[in-house]
Amino acid sequence: MRFFLEVLISGLLSGVMYSLVALGFVLIYKASGVFNFAQGAMVYLAALSVVGCMEKGAPLWLAIPLALGIMTLFGIATEKFVLRKLVNQPPIALFMATIGLAFFIEGLAPMVFGSDPRALDLGIVDEPIEAILNRWGMVISRFDLVAAGIAALLVTVLALFFQYTRIGRALRAVADDHQAALSIGIPLQHIWAIVWGVAGFVALVAGMLWGARNGVQFALTFTALKALPVLIIGGFTSVPGAIVGGLIIGASEKLAEIYLPPLMESAFGGNFGGIEGWFPYVLALLFLLIRPEGLFGEKHIDRV
Amino acid sequence: MSKTIGDVILDLQNISLRFGGVKALTDISFDVREHEIRAIIGPNGAGKSSMLNVINGVYHPQEGIIIFRGRERKKMEPHQAATQGIARTFQNIALFKGMTVLDNLMTGRITRMKTRFFEHALWWGRAQREELEHRKKVEEVIDFLEIQHIRKTPVSRLPYGLQKRVELGRALAAEPSMLLLDEPMAGMNVEEKQDMCRFILDVNDQLGTTIVLIEHDMGVVMDISDRVVVLDYGKKIGDGVPEEVKNNPEVIKAYLGASH
Amino acid sequence: MFYREAGQFKSSYAADQQLFPIRQDRIGVLLLLAIAFLVVPFVAGEYWFSAILIPFLIFSLAALGLNLLTGYAGQLSLGSAAFMAVGAYAAYNFELRVDGLPILFSFALAGLTAAGVGILFGLPSLWIKGFYLAVATLAAQFFIVWCLTKFPWFSNHSSSGVISTQKVTLFGYAFTSPREKYLLVLTIVTVLALAAKNLVRSSTGRAWMAVRDMDVAASVIGIRLMPTKLLAFAVSSFYCGVAGALYAFCYLGSVEPDGFSLDLSFRVLFMIIIGGMGSILGSFLGAAFILLLPIFLDIALPWLAGALGLPFSNATVSHIQILLFGTLIMFFLIVEPHGLARLWQIAKEKLRLWPFPH
C-alpha cells in the first residue's frame, strides 16, 4: 500500500508537469483555434535559449528574461509570417503547418545554441525528502515536489488571468468568435501576439523544469507527445481539463508502468517494459469512447 | 396545373426537439401530401431548418412520431433517409468544394450504385458500365438545369447563384420522391430567383416530386406552394393554403412582431 | 503548341471517362512507363537502383497510401510508418511460416494484414475527427512499434526485433540484383498506382472526397460514413503495408521496429503535403522531392561551405536539412496548398496556350 501511494504520488507530480505542457496547447488553441504541434519544440527552444545565454556568460537571472524575449519574438514572428497567412485555411492545414514549424525549430535551435545535451542547474536537488522518508518511508523527490509546486502556481495564475483580467476576457471572446471579437474592437493580431508570448512563457517554465531534471537535449521536444493524450482527456479548450487530464495521465501511466508489465510477462513471457510510450494514448482513446468531447469540453452540435 | 395531389406520405405528429435545455421545436404536427409543394415559413430562429433536419434524420426528436409512407419511422441516420428517396439542399450551400460539378452530381447517384470498391479498383465490365449509365442520368440533370458549360469546373470557383443550382442538381440526381429545399433562393437576384422558381415548379410538375420548402421571400412562397405551415419560436402558429395563412392574425402578429 | 486538347472531341461518355482523357497525357504516361521498364534497367547503375530508384518507388507507394486516406478521404494520419512496419513484419512471418509461399502472395497478405490493423485503428474515426483523430493515429504509431519490439514471436526471437528478410523468389526465380528488384518493385507500384487512380475516379473515390469536404452533407445524400471511412483506412493501410514489405525485402534487407518511427511517418506526410494532397501524381512528385533533397544537400552543403571557407560538421548538415523540411512545409501550405502536382497542372495550362498566350 505504501509503495502504491509512493507510485501514485510521483505519478501525480509528473502529471502536473504534463499539465504544464498541455496548458501551452490549450492557450493557443483557445485564442486562435490552432492546434500547435510545435509546443514541444518550443519547450526545447526555450530551454536551449536559457543554457545558450548562460554559456555566453549571462547569469541565470539574466538568462531567463533573455530567453523569454527570444520566445516572445519567436511567437510574434510565427504569428506574422506563418499563421496570419493561413487564416482562411482549414484547421488541419494550420495543424500541419505547426508540424513544419516544429521541424523548423528543431533544425534552427541546435544550430544557434549547439546540439550536445547539457545540464541546467536551478539549485534544487533531485533527492528524496527526508522528513517524508523518515515519517512514512516513501521516496518523494524534492525536485518533483518543487517543480509540481511551480507548475501548479503557474497554472493557477494563468487560470485567474484568463478569468479576471481584461486581456483574459478579450482572449476568451476571440476564442468564441473571431468575427464578433473583431467587430467589437478587439485587436485580433495584438491578442494573438500576446497569446504566443504567454505560450512561450509557459514553454520556458516547462523547458527549465524538464531541462533541469533530464538535461537540456533534443528529447525535450517529446514533451509534446506526453501532452497530447492529456488534451484528449481534458478537451482542447479547457484549462481545468488540462490540469485534471495531466493528473490522470501522470498517475495512471506510472501505475501502469509498475503493475502492467509483470502481468503481461506472466501471461506472455518476455520483457514488456517501456509501455509509457503508448499507454497514455490508448487510455485517452478508451476515454474518448465514453466522452468524445473530453472531460470539460463542450458538446459540439453540427449545424446545417 | 396538371398534377394531382395525392395522399399524405409524411405525417409528423407532436414533434419536440431539444438541444440541452434549449427547445428548438415544441409539439409540432403537420403532414405532407404526395406531389404537393409544402412550404415552411417563419421568422429567423423559428426552427424551420431543424424541422427539415428532423425529417431527414440529421436530428432525432425527443418526442413525437414520424410516419413516412404509412409506416412509423424508427430513429434513423441521414443516409437511410436518402435511400428512402428523400433528398435535400442546405441553407448554407453544402457542396463538396474540392470536386467538380460533374463529380458533385455523381455523388447524388451513390445510393443507386451497386458495384463495390474492388470492381472500382479494376475498372472492369460492370463497374465501367454502371459508371456510364449513371453518367447519362446525371447529364440529363445537367441539361435540365442548363449547367453544361460548367460541368468540369470545381464548384469552389462558381458564383453563389450557380452553386445553389448545382446543389439542387445534386439532390435531383438522386431522383428523389421527396425533396427538401432549405432557402433555395436566399441571396439571389430577381433573375436567378425566377430561374430557380421555374426549376422547382418543373421538377414538381414533370417528375411529380413532392417538395418541402423553406423560403423567406413571401411572394415566392405564396405563388408556388400548395400549402404553408408557419412556425414561430419552435411552435406551429398557422397551417393551410396560402390565402388562409396570409389572413391568419397570429401569423401577421408574428411577422410584424419579428420585423419591428 | 504541343500540349493542346483543341480538336480532341469526345463523342461518348466512355471516351470522356478514360484514365487520361487528354491524348498528350496518355502518350506521356505510356512513354514514361516505357522508359521506366525498357530503358532505365539498361542504363542505370547499381547506386541508382538501390539508393534512389527503389526507395523512390517504395516511398511513392507509401505516400500514395497516405494520400488516399488524408488527401482524398480527409482523415489525417500520423501513423503511416507503423502500418509499413505491420506490412514488413507480416511479409517476413508469412515467408517464414508458410513453406514456399510465392513472394507476391506474401506481399499481398502483408497488405491485407496491414489493412486489418488499419481498420482497427481507424475505428476511432467513427466518433472523433480532425485533431482528435490525428492524435488517435499516434496511438497506432507507438503501440504497433512497441508490440513488434516486445513480442519476440513477430521477429522470430531475434534480439530487439531486428529481422533479416528472406530471399525474394517467385516460382523458383530469385530476384537478387538491384535491377531485378527494381523491376519487381516498379511492376507492383505501377499496378497499385493504376488501381488507386481507378478508385479515385469511381464512386468509391467520390464518396471519400465527399466525406472529406463535408461529412454531414455526405451522409444526407446517402453515403454511409462508417464503411466509407473504414474502407479508406483499410485501403490506405494496404498500400502502406505493401510499401513496408517492399521496404524491408527489396530495399533494406534488414529492418527493426524502431526504424518505422514517428519521424518516418512525418516524412511520408511531408511527401503528400509537398507533392499535393488529393493527387496520385503528387504522391510520386512528393516522394521524389523529399528523397532527393537530403541527397542534394549532402553534396551541395559541404561544397558550399568549402567554397566559403566555413567550418561545417555533419550535424550541421542534418540540422539544415530538418530546418529546410520545416520551412518547405510551411511555405507550401501557405503558397501552394495543392503542392507540386498543382504547379505541374498550372504549367500544363500555360503550355496549352503557348506560344500564343493571348
Closest CA relative to residue C122, chosen from C193, C188, C68: C68
**pLDDT band at C6; cut points 50, 70, 90:** low
Closest CA relative to residue C291, chosen from C125, C61, C33: C61
Domain total for chain C?
A: 1
Domain with B157 in it: what CATH number? 3.40.50.300
Q: What is the DSSP string of C138-194?
A: HHHHHHHHHHHHH-GGGGTT-GGG-EEPPPEEETTEEE-SHHHHHHHHHHHHHHHHH
- Chain A partners (3+ C-beta pairs within 8 A): B, C
C-alpha cell of residue B132: 456510364
Rounded to the nearest angstrom, the minimum Cα separation between C68 and chain B is: 13
What residues contact B147, with CB distance under 8 A and at least 6 apart?
A: B101, B162, B165, B166, B169
Residue B17, sorted as left (phi over 0), alpha (psi -120 to 50) or beta, turns out to be: beta
> How far apart (Å, rounded) are the C-alpha atoms in residues A241 and A249?
12
Q: Backbone phi, then psi, for B68, in 5-degree steps?
A: -115, 120
Rounded to the nearest angstrom, the minimum Cα separation between B244 and chain C is: 33
Residue A132 reports pLDDT greater than 80: no
C-alpha cell of residue C208: 471519400
Residue C169 reports pLDDT greater than 90: no
- Chain B partners (3+ C-beta pairs within 8 A): A, C
In this structure, is residue C330 part of a structural domain? no
Closest residue in chain B to residue C201, using alpha carbons only: B120
B109 and B138 Cβ atoms separated by less than 8 Å: yes
Cis peptide before C178 (omega within 30 of 0): no
> How far apart (Å, rounded) are the C-alpha atoms in residues B77 and B67?
16
Q: Do C224 and B79 touch (CB under 8 A)?
A: yes
pLDDT at B76: 84
C49 and C181 Cβ atoms separated by less than 8 Å: yes
Alpha-carbon torsion, ordered C116, C118, C120, C125, to 10 deg: -140
> How far apart (Å, rounded) are the C-alpha atoms in residues A88 and A79?
14
Q: Cα dist. C72→A283, C84, C111, C201, C299 in Å?
A: 29, 20, 20, 11, 36
Q: Which helix (H) or strand (E) holds C352?
A: helix C339-353
Rounded to the nearest angstrom, the minimum Cα separation between B175 and chain C is: 11
**Span A91-126, pLDDT tens digits:** 888 999 999 999 999 999 999 998 888 888 887 777
Q: Do C326 and A105 touch (CB under 8 A)?
A: yes
pLDDT at C92: 97
In this structure, is residue B3 part of a structural domain? no
In this structure, is residue B1 part of a structural domain? no
In a mutational test of the C interface, the residue from B123, B132, B179 whose CB has the highest number of chain C CBs within 10 Å is B123
Is the CB of residue B59 less than 8 Å away from at least one CB of chain C? no
Q: What is the DSSP string of B99-114?
A: SBHHHHHHHTTGGG--
Q: Do B121 and C214 touch (CB under 8 A)?
A: no
Closest residue in chain A to residue C141, using alpha carbons only: A278
Residues in C whose CB is inside 8 Å of some CB of B read 13-14, 17, 19, 195-196, 198-199, 202-207, 209-210, 212-214, 216-225, 231, 235, 278
Q: Backbone phi, then psi, for B113, in 5-degree steps?
A: -90, 140
Is the CB of residue C211 less than 8 Å away from at least one CB of chain A? no
In this structure, is residue C14 part of a structural domain? no
Residues in B whose CB is inside 8 Å of some CB of A read 19-20, 49, 53, 58, 90-92, 94
pLDDT at A43: 94
Alpha-carbon torsion, ordered B76, B82, B84, B85, to 10 deg: 150
**pLDDT band at A299; cut points 50, 70, 90:** low
DSSP annotation of B20: T
User: What are the pLDDT tens digits along chain B (260 aa)?
Assistant: 456 888 999 999 999 999 888 889 999 999 999 999 999 998 888 899 999 999 999 999 999 999 999 889 888 889 999 999 999 999 888 999 999 999 999 999 998 888 888 888 888 778 888 999 999 999 999 999 999 999 999 999 999 999 999 999 999 999 999 999 999 998 888 999 999 999 999 999 999 999 999 998 888 899 999 999 999 989 999 999 999 988 888 888 887 765 44
- The partner residue sitting opposite C217, judged by closest CB among B90, B111, B117, is B90
In a mutational test of the B interface, the residue from A293, A301, A304 whose CB has the highest number of chain B CBs within 10 Å is A304
**Span C19-69, pLDDT tens digits:** 777 888 888 899 999 999 999 999 988 899 999 999 999 999 999 999 999
Q: Do B53 and A304 touch (CB under 8 A)?
A: yes
Is the CB of residue B13 less than 8 Å away from at least one CB of chain C? no
For residue A93, the Cα-to-chain-centroid distance in whole angstroms is 22
Q: Do B90 and A302 touch (CB under 8 A)?
A: no
Residue A130 reports pLDDT greater than 60: yes
Residue with cell 400549402: B227
Residues 107-166 of C with CB under 8 A from A: 124, 127-128, 130-132, 134-136, 138-139, 142-143, 146, 149-152
> How far apart (Å, rounded) are the C-alpha atoms in residues B167 and B155?
10
Residue with cell 498506382: C193
pLDDT at B2: 53
Residue type, C123: L
Percent pLDDT > 90 in chain A is: 24
- The partner residue sitting opposite A92, judged by closest CB among C76, C136, C326, is C76
**Span C74-121, pLDDT tens digits:** 999 999 999 999 999 999 999 999 988 899 999 999 999 999 999 999
Domain total for chain B?
A: 1
- CA B216, B218, B220, B223 torsion-angle sign: positive
pLDDT at C7: 67
Counting other chains too, the contacts that A284-289 makes at CB distance below 8 Å and 24 or more residues apart are A284/A228, A284/A229, A284/A230, A284/A232, A284/A233, A284/A249, A284/C135, A284/C136, A284/C139, A285/A232, A285/C124, A285/C136, A285/C139, A287/A232, A287/A233, A288/A232, A288/C124, A288/C127, A288/C128, A288/C132, A288/C136, A289/C127
A34 and A83 Cβ atoms separated by less than 8 Å: yes
Average pLDDT over residues C200-221: 94
Closest residue in chain B to residue C196, using alpha carbons only: B121
Closest residue in chain B to residue C73, using alpha carbons only: B98
Closest residue in chain C to residue A269, using alpha carbons only: C151
Helix H, strand E, coil C: the string for B206-228 is HHCCEEEEECCCHHHHHHHCCEE
A37 and A22 Cβ atoms separated by less than 8 Å: no
Output A37 or A121, whichever has higher pLDDT. A37
C-alpha cell of residue C145: 512499434
Average pLDDT, chain C: 91
Instruction: Tell me how many helices (H) and strands (E) chain B has.
Output: 10, 10
In this structure, is residue B133 part of a structural domain? yes
Residue C129 reports pLDDT greater than 90: no
Under 8 Å CB pairs connecting chains A and B tally to: 10
pLDDT at B260: 43
Q: Do C210 and B115 touch (CB under 8 A)?
A: no
Q: Which helix (H) or strand (E) holds C302?
A: helix C280-308
Residue C4 reports pLDDT greater than 70: no
Residue A190 reports pLDDT greater than 80: no
- The partner residue sitting opposite B121, judged by closest CB among C195, C212, C221, is C195
Structural domain for B164, as ranges: 8-259
Residue A75 reports pLDDT greater than 90: no
Q: Considering only A166-175, C30-39, C240-249, C278-287, which range has the smallest mean pLDDT?
A: A166-175
In a mutational test of the C interface, the residue from B80, B88, B107, B163 whose CB has the highest number of chain C CBs within 10 Å is B107
**Span A236-259, pLDDT tens digits:** 888 888 889 999 999 999 999 888
Closest residue in chain A to residue C265, using alpha carbons only: A99
Structural domain for C131, as ranges: 21-257
Q: Cα dist. A124→A7, A127, A143, B163 in Å?
A: 21, 9, 6, 65
Residue with cell 517494459: A273
pLDDT at A226: 87
What is the ipTM, given to two decimal places?
Answer: 0.90
In a mutational test of the C interface, the residue from B60, B89, B104, B120 whose CB has the highest number of chain C CBs within 10 Å is B120
Output B224 or A302, whichever has higher pLDDT. B224
Q: Backbone phi, then psi, for A213, in 5-degree steps?
A: -80, -50
Residue type, C334: I
> How far apart (Å, rounded) are the C-alpha atoms in residues C251 and C248?
6
Under 8 Å CB pairs connecting chains B and C tally to: 110
> How far apart (Å, rounded) are the C-alpha atoms in residues B100 and B58?
25
**Span C274-284, pLDDT tens digits:** 999 999 999 99
In this structure, is residue C331 part of a structural domain? no
Q: Do C142 and A281 touch (CB under 8 A)?
A: yes
pLDDT at A300: 57
3 state DSSP class of C311: coil
A109 and A44 Cβ atoms separated by less than 8 Å: yes
Q: How many residues does chain C have?
A: 358
- Rounded to a whole number, what is the distance in angstroms from the first to the last CA of chain A? 54
